Amino acid sequence: SVQDKNALHLYSVNGKYLGSETLKEEVSDMCVTGDYIVMGSLQGFLSIRDLYSLSLSISPLAMRLPIHCISVTKEYSHILVGLEDGKLIIVGVGKPAEV
């Protein structure tokens, strides 16, 4: 976050700059899972981005409260979202029939 602008920067393992994406929200937690970056913001949005292009995979999900922590199950079937008020939201991943 620099001067009220937030950005996500992507570098290779060798330190080569690969790209960046400007963010509208302030990121509070993130985790890299497979080919995706799962991010939570203080504005209450859960975002899933492609690891290589940094583009949104789906439109952000509104949680209505600041997100404090995010975790993804080892089977990649659910995203666990901890909110400011202590609630734990469980988001199913995949097609509705799979969830």
In the chain, what are the domain boundaries?
Answer: 2-92
Question: How far apart are alpha carbons 9 and 62 in whole angstroms?
Answer: 23
CA dihedral 41, 55, 24, 44 (to 10 degrees): -30
Angle at 48 between CA 27 and CA 32, to 5 degrees: 75
- For 99, other C-beta atoms within 10 Å of its C-beta total 10
- CATH architecture of residue range(s) 2-92: Beta Barrel (2.40)
pLDDT of 3 reads 59
Is there a contact between 52 and 71 (Cβ–Cβ < 8 Å)? Answer: no
Alpha helices per DSSP H over the chain:
none
User: What per-residue confidence (pLDDT) applies to 95?
Assistant: 64
The per-residue pLDDT for 18 is 94
Q: Kindly report the pTM of this predicted structure.
A: 0.85
Instruction: Report how far residue 70's alpha carbon sits from residue 26's, in angstroms, rounded to the nearest whole number.
Output: 14
Residue 62 · residue 51 · CB < 8 Å = no
Render each residue's pLDDT in the chain as its tens digit; 99 residues.
445 689 999 999 999 999 999 999 999 999 999 899 999 999 999 999 999 999 999 999 999 999 999 999 998 899 999 999 999 999 998 766 554
